[in-house]
Structure 1
Amino acid sequence: MSGEILLRGRALTRRWGGLVAVNGVSVELVRGAVHAVIGTNGAGKSTLINLLSGEFPPSSGQIELLGQDVTQWSQPRRARAGLGRSYQRNTIYPSFTVQENCRLSAQARYQTPWAWWHDAQSRGPTQRIAREVAQRVGLGEVLQREAGLLSHGQKRQLEIAMCLATAPKVLLLDEPLAGMGAEETERMLALLDALKKDHAILLVEHDMDAVFRIADRITVMVNGSVIATGTPDDIRTNADVREAYLGHDA
């Protein structure tokens, strides 16, 4: 797929002793596209996201974000440079409102430690950004609701809103559809489709119907290695993928 490459991983490998969790994986994320990574449990998908986000360093390989080599950068530094991610588990503040959750995320990017005389909650752009990102993900009508009272799907939407509050260019989403019903899944897919216009998105997901609907490219991992990368049609007809993951009847 042609497009501006915003995040690139080259020959990424991660070892823990004799265990190779990710083995020579290369991936390119481009603006305007959803790149899904699929595979069975233990295939190395979440480890790949952790490498790209900076949660831990690769044993070997290189990572570029917006044209810069960020292989040795910390996770907070990558986040400030334009990388946002969500996790398999909810990472919201359940006793805070939707708006407060989004404001705290915005505040992490727009820090003004020298303005100690200002109340952080009243700081200019953060409240505006909080409202904007909540509206963008479909939570504009529940700004003052405690996050812990949201439905499961709304909590996942809030996590994406919190990512957007940091003004990322790249989104790494780890199973955002997990546990969702059909209606919530439809809302999330519509959100991802809208977001990809301005972002490069990496999606790790087990819902194959959703993956083949939303993904522009798909990478298939088995035992830490890539066995195929291509369009959804390419992956559907790939004999190695059918054997290793999708099954003979896929």
Structure 2
Amino acid sequence: MQTTTEKRSSTVRRGAAGLAFAAAVAALVAGAASAPAVAADVPPAPSYDFSDCPDIPAGVDAASWKCEVLTATGPLTLGSRSIPELAPMTITHAEGPMPDGSAGQVWGAMRSAPAAVPGGLLGNTADRNATDRNAADHNPLSALSLQPEYGGRSDFYPAGDTMGLFTMRFRVVSPLLPHGCVIGADKPVELHLKRDGDSEWVSKNPPVIKFVAYDDAFTAPAAEGCGPLGKLVNDRFGLPAAAGNAITLNAQYTFKTYDQLPPRA
């Protein structure tokens, strides 16, 4: 059973720091797990939750299938607006060989929270002074956030110079907007992530590997479902935008084989 199949602007540098969408985010795993260097200073390994691990196909070898849990964050630019750092995202999926020898993937879940958009709903920060920007950021009515969501398609095996495909939607959150206001509602953002540098082992037990990935060549569609303020939202974001969009994911992931996981109810 395969996973169901549904870009870094000049302002976002490929060396972006931070922690880090699960091996693209499995190509991320598949490529990263080859033989990354071991970190000299090993910080305490984070705690990972495997409760979102999906059921694997019937008839496969549980010891050969891995559930991978990835956490990621980093800067995002959509159109004319930039977020310095997204709220942490957690992505869970499974991968392993099918009985016929082909590569299998099963989607698990994506969890995330809203991240504030500097300048709020009133406008871009680039054309406003610091006092106005601060007021916009703290005005409850004009507050604006973006919440990443799974776009419905994922393929975490490498393809050419990319680590696979991952699609995302971005829910636009504001007291003045309906819940259905989403960038990429009908046509999700397609990310073809590339690795920036080498992967690195953070811990061997449990296995934790970190890496940086980016896409600075994706298209950002217009927001939909935003009610009477739809034009304002798209004007403020400069959407749709065929260029100038970018995301950098500072990520780390862990995994367990299915024979290491507790029995499923």
For this structure pair, what is the TM-score category when the shorter chain's length is used for normalisation? Answer: under 0.3
The normalised TM-score by structure 1 is 0.28
- Structure with greater proportional strand content: 2
The normalised TM-score by structure 2 is 0.27
- Structure with greater proportional helix content: 1
